[in-house]
Structure formats: structure tokens, C-alpha cells
Amino acid sequence: MALSFRSSNQSAIWDRIRSDDATKLRLKYDAYYHIFDEQKGTRVKKDGKEYVMLSSNDYLGLSQHPKIKEAGMAALQKWGSSTTGARLANGGRIFHRELEEDLADFLGKEACHVFSAGYLACASAVTGFVDRKDIIFADKNLHSSLWSGIHLSGATCERFAHNDPEHLGELLASENSTTPKAVVLEGIYSMEGHIARLPELVEVGKRFNAFIILDDAHGVGVLGNSGRGTADHFGLTQGVDVICGSFSKSFSGMGGFVCSSKDAIDYMRSHSKQTIFSAALSPSATACAHAALQVFRAEPEHRQRLEKNLTRYRNLLHELQLDTWESESPAIPIVLGKKEKVYYFWKALLEKGVYAIISIAPGVPPGKDLIRTAISAAHTDSDLDIIEDAIRYAATKI
Ligand SMILES: Cc1ncc(COP(=O)(O)O)c(C=O)c1O
């Protein structure tokens, strides 16, 4: 006989769920979690209407690359869909090791460990090394994955002004010199598109013997020799202690990585709950990431195309005097300041067949409400014509 749980939907948590203003607002404006029925390259379709995607992170446009798709399918055939467990429990596979060796070599580090999500990798790049007795100095605009790692580590955290080495230096100088210190940075800040002032930040951090963790999710593939990322771009690969990132941006795949010395990766494998208690990267995701890495090395044309597209797009935004928050990368915000303006701009883009994403406070600092756009090497001239037409139209609506 079924038991009746009269109170099962009377919990205070159900009340909170039903009355949440953020959810009501999200559903009212319907700006997020859209479902597309079809995708061909940069074009997505919903309810029979086609849109040019202007907010994904497929910077090099590799998500439909034949060699990457073939590698993923072959791995699925050979190894199946999953290793169904954490590597500590039922072992890694040779394909994990091959990717890790190749990626470590590419990024100029001794060793690497791959994870089933970039979020887990970047959280682990902090929790895997830092503990509660340490102090972390964090750029205040870090990605949520790094904040999760910071909170889970239990360490004291000081936030320094975004991309500001002078402020970092003041905070470091005010702390006890014997407390172990870590500095957490991004190579390219995903919302603003800013490149980290790495030479000054690393110099300050090293002056105070800090351990430097760099999340280069958006830098690898885009900056540095053959896409070796932000540290390579500045010749600072040995200046940063850890480089972490995601396979869901330029690699056009899924998963993430942490690279460092062999000792550090062995240490992290003993301490990172994100790998000890989470299943390994799947065979097909590993193969896709590995094939993308080979494409970075062998096919410079994708970066060249990205640069060409970026020049055209930046010129357009500049001509229309739109505020791009001084973005220096393919992640380009259009800062409109007020959420109503953002909403009308976004609606106008949709009307003209362009899909972008809204980001408003508290996701961005107050007064910086924006449309987050990202240019891809896969955007064709005809995509860029549609984007141009839509942005010119949207600019008249604000
Ligand atoms: C800077 C940064 N780090 C980490 C991540 C997490 O990567 P993933 O989405 O692949 O889990 C992201 C994704 O948005 C990111 O922008």
C-alpha cells in the first residue's frame, strides 16, 4: 500500500522554490536555456527559425572538424561509452595517459591530469593544492569554478581589484610572510575578454613566494605559439605553477585539465576530491580533445580565420561606438549598463536571426549589464553579414 506523505510538498524548501523571484524573472524574460532542434556549424534552429550563434566558445570552430569527429567515434567503438568510475577506483586508460602526456608537453609542463568537466578541473586546481591554513589572493572577477575551489579549500581568501598587480602587491605585503600563499588568475577573463597582466602579476606573486594558479580555459587555442595559451604568449610558462582549463572552448569538446610538475600532479591526485570521487573523462571526450590538440599544432588556418573575423567584428562595434569593455580577445561583451537596454538589444538580435546571451548583475559588476558575444573561426562571411545587420539594427533600439 502506498504511504501518503501529506507534508512532502509543504517543506520550507518547496515554498522557496515556488516563490523564488530570480526564477520567476528568468522565466518571464525567457532569455536563457533555449532549446534548439537543429545545429549546422554556426547555425542553430528553433521553431523553424534559423539563428547565427554568437555566444558559444567554439573560438577555433572545431566542433564539426572531421578528424575530431572521427577520433571520437573510433574511441566510442573501441572503448565504449564510459569507464564508469573514478580513476582511483577502476583505473585510468591508456588514452588518458596519452592525452595527458601530449597536453603537458604542448603547454610546457611536466605532467597533466584530465577531468570530466572544466569546472571540476579548475576547482581542483585550487582545492588540489591549497588547504585551510593557507591564504588565497583571488582576482575579484574569477570564474565560478575557481570560487568553488576557493570555498572548498577552506583557506582564507583576499580579493584583489580585477587585473590589478598594484593592489595584489599591497594585499600580499600586508600578510604574514610565513603563511603559505596562492594567487588565482585567469589568462583571458571570459566575460570581459581581458588578457591577464601576467608579467606584472607573476612578478608580484613570486616576490612574495606565492604559488600561482592560472585558469586558461579561454586562452589555450587562442593565444601563444600554436595556441599554447596566455602563459606562453608572455613567455611565462615556468612562472606559473599550475595551468588549468577546459576542453569546451577552443578544443570544442568536453572535460578539463590541470598541468604542473610531476610532483604537483601526483600530490593533486591524492588530494583532489574532484578526481578521487568523480568518474574519468569518457573515451570519446578524451579522443576528441586529443584530436583537437593535434589540429592546434597542424592547422594554423583556424587561428588565422579567427583573427580575420575578429578584425571585421571589432571594426563594426567600434564604428557603432558600442562599449566592448576593452576586450582584447574573441570573447567580446557589448556593455549596455542597464538590464532593460540589454533586454531590448538582445530581443532585436533575435528578431534579426542572431543568438547571443544576456549577462546582468550580480553576474557582472553593477552598471556593466551586457550582451556576451564570442567570435568563432567557423563564422562565414555570410554569418558575419547577418551579425552586422542585426547589430546595426539592435543599436537603434537602445
Ligand atoms: C574561466 C573558466 N574556467 C572554467 C570553466 C568551466 O569549464 P566547463 O564549462 O568546460 O566545465 C569555464 C566555463 O565557462 C570558464 O569560463
Read off φ and ψ for residue 328, nearest 5 degrees.
-120, 15
**Residue 186 CB–ligand 1 contact under 6 Å:** yes
Phi, psi dihedral angles at 221 (to 5 degrees): 95, -30
- Note the pTM of the prediction, 2 decimals: 0.96
47 and 162 both lie in a single domain: no
Q: What is the pLDDT of residue 178?
A: 95
How many Cα atoms occupy the beta-carbon half-sphere of 29 within 13 Å?
A: 18
For the segment 136-187, what is each residue's pLDDT rounded down to a tens digit?
999 999 999 999 999 999 999 999 999 999 999 999 999 999 999 999 999 9
Domain encompassing residue 375:
24-53+300-395
Q: In angstroms, what is the span from residue 48 Cα to ligand 1's centroid? A: 31
Q: Are 246 and 356 contained in the same domain? A: no
Are both 311 and 225 inside the same structural domain?
no
Ligand 1 centre distance from Cα of residue 363 (Å): 15
Distance from Cα 119 to the centre of ligand 1, integer Å: 5
Given a cut of 50, the residues of the chain with pLDDT beneath it are none
- Strands (E) across the chain are located at 38-40, 43-46, 49-53, 111-115, 135-139, 156-160, 181-186, 211-215, 242-246, 256-260, 331-337, 354-355, 357-359, 369-374
What spacing in Å lies between the alpha carbon of 320 and ligand 1's midpoint? 30
Indicate the residue among 298, 321, 337 that finishes a domain. Answer: 298
The CATH number of residue 29's host domain is: 3.90.1150.10
> What is the position in ligand 1's atom list of the atom closest to the CA of 254?
10
Task: Give the atom of ligand 1 at the shortest distance from the alpha carbon of 57.
Answer: 14
Rg (CA), the chain: 22
- 289 and 211, same structural domain? yes
Give CA–CA dist 103/228, Å, rounded.
Answer: 10
**Does the beta carbon of 118 lie inside 6 Å of ligand 1?**
yes
Q: Which of 298, 332, 357 is the last residue of a domain?
A: 298
Is 110 in the same domain as 247?
A: yes
Q: What is the DSSP letter of 224?
A: S
Q: CA triplet 354, 360, 365: central angle to 5 degrees?
A: 130
- CA 83/CA 102 separation, integer angstroms: 21
Q: Quick check: is 35 in a domain?
A: yes
- My answer on whether 319 and 279 are in the same domain is no
Terminal CA-CA length for the chain: 61
User: Residue 384 has what pLDDT?
Assistant: 98
**Same-domain pairing of 83 and 117:** yes
**76, 153: one domain:** yes
Is 136 in contact with 158 (CB distance < 8 Å)? yes
Q: DSSP letters of 243-279?
A: EEEESSSTT-SS-EEEEE-HHHHHHHHHH-HHHHTSP
Instruction: Determine if ligand 1 sits within 6 Å of the CB of residue 256.
Output: yes
Burial class of residue 226 in the structure, from the number of CB atoms within 10 Å of its CB (0-12 exposed, 13-18 middle, 19+ buried): middle
| Residues 305 and 294 grouped into a single domain | no
CA 246 to centroid of ligand 1, rounded, Å: 6
pLDDT of residue 86: 97
Give how many domains the chain has, as a whole number: 2
> Which of 298, 316, 348 finishes a domain?
298
Do 48 and 114 share a domain, yes or no?
no
- Mutating to test ligand 1, I would choose from 184, 248, 278 the residue with most ligand atoms within 8 A of its C-beta, which is 248
Which position has the grid cell 589540429?
295
Question: 274 and 124 in contact (C-beta within 8 Å)?
Answer: yes
**Residue 89, in any domain of the structure:** yes
Who contacts 100 (Cβ-Cβ below 8 Å, separation ≥6)?
111, 112, 113, 114, 257
